[in-house]
Structure 1
Amino acid sequence: MTPSTLLTGATGFVGGAILKRLCQQGYPVTAVSRTPLNTQDLPAKVVRVDALDGSTAWQDSLKGVEVVIHSAARVHVMHDTEADPLAAFRKVNVEGTLNLARQAAGAGVRRFIFISSIKVNGEGTRKGQAYRADDAPAPADPYGISKKEAEEGLMALARSTSLEVVIIRPVLVYGPGVKANFLAMMKWLDKGVPLPLGAIDNRRSLVALDNLVDLVLVCVTHPAAANQTFLVSDGEDLSTTSLLKRMAVALGKPARLLPVPSWLLELAARLLGKRALSQRLNGSLQVDIEKTRTLLGWEPPVAVDDALAQTARHFKENP
């Protein structure tokens, strides 16, 4: 059975992949986007919205919809130019999300799946001490705070209405078409640039795009997913050094990694004002997906090396 589904963020990295999978599996889909969306090869109805905030009207789009997958968001910004970043994040991620969810509940939508973020849990862990889905939230930046507040509002709505809420907190998502730091890493490796990252003994959880999409679709219909929060990863944690080596293999390139001690990298990052970058390269961030596995009977269907190979192939074919 394929319930009628409304998907927001349909032109995004994650949303676009969800849209493609929904259409492939025969779901009646209404795809929502603020930018033009080409669905020539996809049997989806397209709805354009000018903004995603507390004033957006959804009544017409929600007619006959059974499940909402909300992947649209104001995403984490490295160098935010907003005078009040938290207010900007709240406008979209809190007010926009809860406005959609309230109208969905009023329209008789059965389930609301919210793509949140591991930043609700926090910015990092000690090696070997993974975040769990039911840990107390500890967001440290405006983006994480806004996602936490949206989660709290959704769960309150679930308690007062018949709407079922499912919250998914992904770690760093990679896959064909990935951008930002992961793309930069591939460019460095492809060009053979020597990198001082050959002696980092951290652990980080990642999630392949196909694995995240697979979990989202499981949550569309699984009865045990109702009113639960799930963490998602590939189930294999990697050090930065190991990730670079395995990505180099996927690219068919040598990994030119210099064994510079982590403490020296951290010192250099502090002196250069790059502490956030140092945390991502040297720090650990691990998640425990045992709840996801146990409650949903879910296992990541794509292995890390296969996902890296897919990512590398797309990178090579789309320079």
Structure 2
Amino acid sequence: MTAATVLVTGASGLVGEALVLRLLVDKSFSVVAAARGATRLHGLCPVEPFDLTQPILLPSLGSAKVVVHCAARVHVMKDSAADPVIEFRKVNVEGTLRLAQRAAESGVKRFIFISSIKVNGESTQPGKPFTADDRPNPLGPYGVSKYEAEEKLIELGRETGMEVVIIRPPLVYGPGVKANFLNMLSWLNKGIPLPLGAIRNQRSLVAIANLVSLIVTCVDHPAAANQVFLVSDGEDLSTTQLLQCLTQALGKPVRLVPFPERLLKMAASLVGKQAAVQRLCGSLQVDISKSRELLGWEPSTNTHTALLQTALYYLEKQPK
């Protein structure tokens, strides 16, 4: 029997590349990568040029029966765009819809959209995690754009019969992680004392291996059709616990000062860093029971192992 063809967008990114490599190992699938920039996947599978902002650079879908759409304009701490909402919509809403419409016209059976937990909201109350069926409450431009894309995809699915699967991950980490997580590793590796030794929040994370595992499950699982799923490692950590785990994995002494959270927030308000401190001190938990019960899926990697792998990869790539 001919292997089903899966097209993965954003294949030069952390999630897209890891997914392609996993699918290549599984002989049940034939893989096509769509990438905007340079990728290490050349020679391993077909690679299509792809740019969400350029209609002429949509990938040729050929015989693809499943599209996994990982490409996006991602959330950044300091956005230099004059109007971030417009820029996010151009890529995450308009670009996504163009791709999905072409997919439906080409006979794609299932469109898997990698969204964001920010569609649910920015934080949770202790012991009250987000669930997959909660009413969305996106607050920032990135979360709003992802939610708008979800809505348009669901509508397109109803009109065309193409199955739409939505996955909302929280913070994704793993070997090769970039952005804020990479900055955090850098600070910890330098041994700089941080006033984050007394944070008692609870945050859900997802290792790249666990996210990829759920995506692969959703590629052909009958029960995944037209559903929304949340994903995590299945175990939550406080910011303090996360930093302790990473520091130990880096082989560095733990230098976390137990600065009272109340005073930390007061200091942040004086220097205009309330949002950053809220992310460090606030809770954001997700309930993955729907993914477990409906799909029979379980996280394949525990958090401590995945954090160790992330730290070791970081150290390996440091200049000697």
Structure 1 length as normaliser, TM-score? 0.96
1:49-198 alignment, distance < 5 Å:
49=50, 51-53=51-53, 55-56=55-56, 58=58, 61-198=60-197
Look up the SS of the partner of 1:260 in the other structure: coil
Equivalent residues of 1:262, 1:282 under 8 A apart: yes
Number of aligned residue pairs = 316
Shift of 1:37: 2.4
Question: Does structure 1 residue 39 correspond to structure 2 residue 41?
Answer: yes
Query: What's 1:199 paired with?
Result: 198
Cα offset for 1:57?
5.9
In 1: Cα distance, 2:43 partner to 2:313 partner: 19
Contact kept in structure 2, 1:54 and 1:95, CA below 8 Å: no
Residue type of the partner of 2:21?
K
Cα distance change, pair 190–53 in 1 and its aligned pair in 2 (3 A): closer
Counterpart code for 2:55:
S
What residue in structure 2 maps to residue 271 of structure 1?
Answer: 270
Whether contact under 8 Å (2:196, 2:239) holds in the other structure is yes
Q: Is the 8 A contact 2:17 2:41 kept in 1?
A: no
After superposition, what is the alpha-carbon deviation per residue over 1:168-219, rounded to whole angstroms, capped at 9, x for unaligned?
0000001001122222222222222111111001000000011001111010
CA contact under 8 A between 2:118 and 2:143: conserved in structure 1?
yes
Between the aligned partners of 1:311 and 1:32, the Cα distance in structure 2 is 25
Q: Write the deviation string for residues 13-47 of structure 1: whole angstroms up to 9, x where unpaired.
A: 111111111112233111111113232452x1111
Whether contact under 8 Å (2:232, 2:299) holds in the other structure is yes
The amino acid that maps onto 1:34 is R
* Per-residue deviation, 1:157: 1.2
What are the equivalent positions in structure 2 for 1:262-301 lying under 5 Å apart? Answer: 262-301=261-300
Identify the residue that residue 28 of structure 1 maps to in structure 2: 30
Q: Unaligned 5+ residue runs, structure 1?
A: none
Q: 1:194-245 CA deviation, whole Å, 9 max, x = no partner? A: 1111100100000001100111101001110000000000000100011111
Distance in 2 (CA, whole Å) between partners of 1:35 and 1:57 is 12
Q: Distance in 2 between matches of 1:79 and 1:245?
A: 27
Partner Cα separation in structure 2 for residue 57 and residue 79 of structure 1: 28
Within 2, Cα distance between the matches of 1:166 and 1:110?
11
- Match of 2:46, SS state, is strand
- Percent identity between matched residues is 59
Counterpart CA distance in 2 for 1:97 and 1:110 is: 16
The AA in structure 1 aligned to 2:34 is V
Q: 1:105 to 1:125 in 2, by over 3 A?
A: same
Structure 1 residue identity aligned to 2:144? I
Which residue does the alignment assign to 2:18?
17
* CA–CA separation in structure 2 for the residues paired with 1:16 and 1:100: 19
Look up the SS of the partner of 2:34 in the other structure: strand
2:259 — aligned with what?
Answer: 260
**What is the rounded CA distance, in whole Å, between the counterparts of 1:180 and 1:63 in structure 2?**
34
Per the alignment, in what secondary structure is the counterpart of residue 47 of structure 1?
A: strand
Contact 1:120 1:137 in 2 (8 A): yes
Contact 2:121 2:138 survives alignment (8 Å)? yes
Structure 1 range deviating more: 200-209 or 21-30 = 21-30
Please tell me whether the aligned partners of residues 114 and 168 of structure 1 are also in contact (alpha carbons under 8 angstroms). Answer: yes
Deviation string, structure 1 residues 250-284 (Cα, Å, up to 9, x no partner): 22222111110111111111111112211111000
Give the conservation status (yes or no) of the 8 Å contact 1:211–1:234.
yes
* Contact 1:36 1:48 (8 Å CA) reproduced: no
User: 1-side partners of 2:75 and 2:183: how far apart?
Assistant: 17
TM (norm. structure 2) is: 0.95
Contact 1:23 1:29 in 2 (8 A): yes
The one-letter code matched in structure 2 to 1:55 is: P
Q: In structure 1, what is the Cα distance between the partners aligned to 2:103 and 2:160?
A: 10
Q: 1:258 to 1:38 in 2, by over 3 A?
A: closer
- Determine the C-alpha separation between the residues in 2 that align with 1:165 and 1:317: 39
